[in-house]
Amino acid sequence: FFDSRDFSNVVISLKSSQVPTMIHANQEIARQCDAPLHLGVTEAGPKFEGSIKSAVGFGVLLHQGIGDTIRTSLSDAPEEEILACKEILKSLKLYTKEPDIVSCPTCGRIDIDLIPMVEKVKQMIHDEGIRKNIRVSVMGCVVNALGEAKEADFAIAGGRKQGNIYYKGELYKGNILEAQLLEEFLKLIREKAPLLS
């Protein structure tokens, strides 16, 4: 249609509130033309539900190489939409200007107060203004921590009211009391993060 009218300055957006419909529509249009595609699950819903719907839809398409821009359409503040988009893109390694923070589920092996610790690490990274492609791991026990620490630039491994911190997969400091763990972790990040590209 556009080619026959010599019109190429266009971005196409085929949206639906139904994730399978949105995926199928964008797969079909991608087969038929080379125009840039703007992806969106329209009226996706509240922040939690809408972010998940968007992540599923965008993830399928972006992994197939379909899509040029995205927007999460959430019943929330616009800033929350941006944060959701960044996290979706980060999960596919399509946005690498901010740290990737990973943490374990709260299973029976956890020996430290993990949930508040993860939130504090996120806030700490934000407050320090770190805008680098680094991986930060927060693990509540040594079982999960050893494997994750090897893949992380910075890692915390919880233990019985104490923990270890790791840098580039190697033990940096061990047997730190839980009350001092975040303080020591922050010192490590302040010292080493500027050295990472």
Q: What is the pLDDT of residue 125?
A: 94
Tell me what percent of the chain is helix, strand and coil, each rounded to the nearest 5. 45, 25, 30
Paired with 59 in beta bridges are none
Each residue's pLDDT tens digit, 10-56:
999 999 999 999 999 999 999 998 999 999 999 999 999 999 999 99
**First and final CA of the chain: distance in angstroms?**
46
What is the Cα–Cα distance from 28 to 43, expressed in whole angstroms? 22
Check pLDDT > 80 for residue 1.
no
Give the residue with greater pLDDT, 18 vs 4: 18
Each residue's pLDDT tens digit, 88-128:
999 999 999 999 999 988 877 787 888 999 999 999 999 99
What is the Cα–Cα distance from 100 to 159, expressed in whole angstroms? 23
- Cα dihedral 81, 85, 90, 91 in deg (nearest 10): 100
Together in a domain, 83 and 117: no
Together in a domain, 119 and 74: no
Please give the residue range of the domain that contains residue 104.
100-195
Q: What is the pLDDT of residue 36?
A: 96
Check pLDDT > 90 for residue 161.
no
Mean pLDDT of all residues belonging to the chain: 92
Select from 60, 91, 122 the last residue of a domain. 91
CB 140 within 8 A of CB 106: yes
CATH number for the domain including 120? 3.30.413.10
Together in a domain, 117 and 66: no
Select from 91, 109, 134 the last residue of a domain. 91
Q: What 3-state class would DSSP assign to 38?
A: strand
Check pLDDT > 80 for residue 2.
no
Each residue's pLDDT tens digit, 60-92:
999 999 999 999 999 999 999 999 999 999 999
Check pLDDT > 80 for residue 154.
yes
Select from 56, 91, 126 the last residue of a domain. 91
